[in-house]
Structure 1
Amino acid sequence: MFFKSFTDYLLLEKNYSALTVKAYQNDLDVFSAFIISEYQESSINQVNYAQIRTWIVSLVDSGMSNRSINRKVSALNTYYKFLLKTETIETNPLIKHKALKTSKKIQIPFSETEVALVLDPSNFEDGFEGIRNKLIIELFYSTGIRRIELIELKMVSFNLHNKTLKVLGKRNKERIIPLLESVISTLHVYLKAREKLEHITDSDYLFLTQKGVKIYETLVYRIINDYFSKASTKVKKSPHILRHSFATHLLNQGADLNAVKELLGHSSLAATQVYTHNSIAELKKVHVNAHPRSKK
């Protein structure tokens, strides 16, 4: 099937992660099912924009957010660009498509006080899960890694001699992140607790459940949400907000934007600049409090 050539292209040439490729595949499968159902077309390779537009309208009517719809259409557009590249089609039916308007989401980071409250040792229960959860939160906050990057960490990802962590990010791009002494200390405690698990199935992976299998996305989200619910009244409490807090707090303390970009694994500076609105607010506060003419 032609989808297979496309997914190989995404994996091998575009260097997309397996998770992203799976999402693209799902989007193509959903669109393909729609085209078969509505138009009795056996292939999506020769559809026109009017047919795609009908699909988009159906997604809007289903209550799906414009942001999610744009992501699906983007996957479809990437597929048609691939067909053009391989000379399978002559024109891209999405060539003149304009993305649906989306509202700009303002991500509100946790405060330094909230993070400190969560990381109080008294918040973590004794035993394997408490130690593991503490390490997860410390790693998110001290390295800014993404949820999927944390889940995919291996036992060999850490270099304790150099005090660094090797992370495999988007498009299989590796980056090295320095580790704080406090994180290394918690890691040693966790590894000792991990050794005592009765059954370990996914031995290569760092973070496991009590049953010895690799942790999963909903569990990681639940851990962050549960612990931060004790210290924060913010509506959204997720691994991404903790990543956002990492970047914001570094910038508030005067970190170089390019350095934060490298730590986060962003491919462009523009992606990192979304985190600067909070640091600008902090700079304004410092400026007003410190400038000799601010009191006049």
Structure 2
Amino acid sequence: MVNTTDAFMAYLQKEKKYSPHTINAYLNDIANFQSFNKVHFDQNNIEKVNYSQIRTWIVSLVDNDISNVSVNRKISSLKAFYKFLLKIKQIEVSPLLKHKTLKISKKIQIPFSEKEVAEVLTGIQNPSGFEEVRDKLIIDLFYTTGIRRTELIRLKGLDVDFSNNTIKVLGKRNKERIIPVLPIIKEELSLYVFERSSLESIKDKEFLFLTKKGLKLNDSFVYRLINSYFSAVSEKVKKSPHILRHTFATHLLNNGADLNSVKELLGHASLASTQVYTHSSLSELKKVYEDSHPRNKR
């Protein structure tokens, strides 16, 4: 088991090029199932399990109030492992061959309105000092590029190309993409770089966005920043960096951008991932249709 697990980890690192966080999640899921299998079936080797054993684990997870989304993720880890074992001919048939993912209710992500975004940005229209300049730039980058939170955190100074008005982003599975930035964002970037240079101490020099202590930002810091600014103007339940990414895509679609272009900007592997953002643009289209069609005139 140790050998195949090590080989699987190397496969995820070198061939799939997954991030350390993703690899740890996969290995933890596999280890958890292995522990369950040992306790309930007195079996150490999960290469020889059958689907009935896996189903028992699934039932146990659900009984312990693990959400269907989380259960599906854990099963996805197992599927990847057994797919790898098939690849290296360690097994002949995956025990998950006929497994069907658990149904999950689709939660509609409600984007911010153009008015809400404008109100936030107007509130810090003339930022002063390092923190206000940084905060405004972060909000504007989310809204004008659709960048992911982890992508923004990992941005480095060298990723900004002032001559071409672009930023280089390291996305999922370490895939790079180049995103254009608007002239106004270029100005904000220049101002931020100037303010950043005035920090007394910078420990994480390679990263673009820093705290006032010169440290790289983390996920919770960025979440709190977005939540704080948008809580002042919006009563929506979710006020997160992802909602701003969602807002970016929705507003582009509402204003005539084609789906494939939005897909490329977001860094999605397929159009299916981007189509989740179309519900709002369809609502806008329906409104225009109802307001404009002669047959709807009274």
TM-score, L = length of structure 1:
0.94
Find the aligned partners of 1:20 and 1:255 in 2 and give their Cα distance. 32
Give deviations 1:72-114, integer Å, cap 9, x for gaps.
1011111111011111122211111111111111111111111
- 2:251: which partner in 1? 249
Give deviations 1:42-82, integer Å, cap 9, x for gaps.
33222222221222122112211101110110111111110
- 1:130: which partner in 2? 132
Which of 77, 85, 88 aligns to 2:79? It is 77
Cα shift at 1:275? 0.9
- 1:179: which partner in 2? 181
Partner secondary structure for residue 165 of structure 1: strand
Which of 175, 184, 192 aligns to 2:194? It is 192
Find the aligned partners of 1:99 and 1:52 in 2 and give their Cα distance. 13
Partner secondary structure for residue 214 of structure 1: coil
Which of 41, 45, 48 aligns to 1:46? It is 48
Which of 13, 19, 33 aligns to 1:17? It is 19
Find the aligned partners of 2:188 and 2:40 in 1 and give their Cα distance. 56
Find the aligned partners of 1:225 and 1:47 in 2 and give their Cα distance. 45
Instruction: Work out the number of aligned pairs and report it.
Output: 296
**RMSD of aligned C-alpha atoms?**
1.8
What amino acid sits opposite 1:24 in the alignment? Y
Find the aligned partners of 1:254 and 1:198 in 2 and give their Cα distance. 45
Larger CA deviation: 275-284 vs 204-213: 204-213
Find out whether 1:167 has 2:169 as its counterpart.
yes
Partner secondary structure for residue 176 of structure 1: strand
Q: Kindly indicate whether the alpha-carbon contact (under 8 Å) linking 1:118 and 1:228 is maintained by their aligned counterparts in 2.
A: yes
Q: Kindly indicate whether the alpha-carbon contact (under 8 Å) linking 1:202 and 1:214 is maintained by their aligned counterparts in 2.
A: yes
Find out whether 1:36 has 2:43 as its counterpart.
no
- 1:265: which partner in 2? 267
Find the aligned partners of 2:21 and 2:185 in 1 and give their Cα distance. 28
Give deviations 1:261-287, integer Å, cap 9, x for gaps.
100111111111111111011011112
Change (3 A) 1:126 1:32: farther
Q: Kindly indicate whether the alpha-carbon contact (under 8 Å) linking 2:110 and 2:243 is maintained by their aligned counterparts in 1.
A: yes
- Percent identical across equivalent pairs? 59
Partner secondary structure for residue 291 of structure 2: helix
Gaps of 5+ in 1: none
Q: Kindly indicate whether the alpha-carbon contact (under 8 Å) linking 1:124 and 1:134 is maintained by their aligned counterparts in 2.
A: no
Larger CA deviation: 181-190 vs 240-249: 181-190
Gaps of 5+ in 2: none
Find the aligned partners of 1:40 and 1:226 in 2 and give their Cα distance. 50
Partner secondary structure for residue 133 of structure 1: helix
Which of 275, 281, 291 aligns to 1:289? It is 291
